[in-house]
Amino acid sequence: MTVMIETKPKIVVPYLYIWDVADSSKEWAEVSEHVEFIRYKMSTREDFIQFLQTSEIQGFWVAEEFFTVLGNPSDYWDYFPDSLKVILVPWVGCDFIDGKRLRSEKNITLCNIGPHAASNVSDLAVFLVLSCFRMTSYWEHCFRIVENGDIESCKQYIGGSLQDNKEMSLSKGKNEEYVYRFPTKPESSFTNIAENYTVGGKIMDSPTNKNVLILGFGSIGQTIGKRLKFGLDMNIFYYKRSGPVARDVLNYDATYCTSLKEEETWRIADVIILSLPSDDSTSNLINDQTISMCKKGVRIINIGRGSCIDEDALIRGLDSGQVNSCGLDVYKNETAPIDNRLLRRWDVTLLPHIGSAVADIIHRQTVVTLENIKDIFIDGGSGIYVVN
């Protein structure tokens, strides 16, 4: 009698210096009884191609470190084995690979972690809203670096205009200087701060009762709206390509904007938050034309994808005062240092793409990725958080 030995589905988990999978969790142990996880130590592109051609893997667990070591997973498109059934992304954004083409040409499922990072990204969006209205990045730099902890000297900058800016320099190391523009104190002996409560011509204000336009209203956008509605009493306006979201789903009041071609949509916003994916329809959505349709002094925040903003247009808007301030956690090209013109601005809050960077995210994204694996390979489903 012949005994058939069941072969476990193989899922590759690449790593080199960083292991970002919670393999000590009970969920990992449970799924490991039915699935073989292959820990693949990355080396060269050629070695990985050979691995793909000979391994008969059925799942590819994408690691963030993969992009640094071996490049974009889509670069290996032609080498994906016929056995590959699913690409597992343990975060939200999947724009590094064409999901529709992946399905139509190779019948490969693309899964992410769905809404499970929404809370953390929304935290950061609220922080950036506060920073852009209250100019907290400017104040901290002024207090720490420029005025060396002198509170009264810091307050003397209030009332300055756009013209009250000058070049300053900081030492970057041996024989190197970092040159940037920074507000100066008003030169007049009399300053009417009742009329000009500004620094460097940029107004400091409260976000309370202001209008926020959220572009992209999926799980992250909706959670941002909830935080701003109940936390800061803001008025929520939003645009969503698929149409309005029912009030009983949101559990708060929000106004749906029907078109981004109408000036009225842009003009109503005191702050615009981008929570959008990267595709042809969102590329450079913030540009000279859309900025010109906004009210003067609008604030712009991006926690979605860097491709959504024309950074040249943004800088022109900041220079003219059409854009009061902005907060960015994502950028055009994150494989290289970001534009120096953004780095050297005092009216911009910059973060290094840390939207979901919190202590428990590794465990959470591992568990959700395992849920996708369990549904596909153990329960015979098609995946829980399917992107394509």
- In this predicted structure, what is the pLDDT of residue 90? 96
What's the one-letter identity of residue 253? D
The whole-number average pLDDT for the span 137-157 is 94
Percentage of residues in the chain having pLDDT higher than 70:
96
- In this predicted structure, what is the pLDDT of residue 52? 96
| CB burial readout 85-121, b (16+ within 10 A) else e | bbbbbbbbebeebebeebeeeeebbbbbbbebbbbbb
Tracing tokens 């960077």 back to the chain, one arrives at 357
Closest by CA to 107, choosing from 79, 84, 89, is: 84
CA distance 155 to 16: 49
CATH 3.40.50.720 fits 118-158+205-350, yes or no: yes
Question: Which tens digit of pLDDT belongs to each residue from 19-46?
Answer: 999 999 999 999 999 999 999 999 999 9
pLDDT category of residue 93 using cuts at 50, 70 and 90: confident
The whole-number average pLDDT for the span 261-289 is 94
Examine domains 10-117+359-378 and 118-158+205-350 and report if their fold is the same.
yes
Report domain extents, the chain.
10-117+359-378, 118-158+205-350
34 is catalytic: no
pTM of the model: 0.90
311 is catalytic: no
CATH architecture, range 10-117+359-378: 3-Layer(aba) Sandwich (3.40)
141 is catalytic: no
Catalytic residue among 116, 305, 345, 364: 305
- In this predicted structure, what is the pLDDT of residue 376? 97
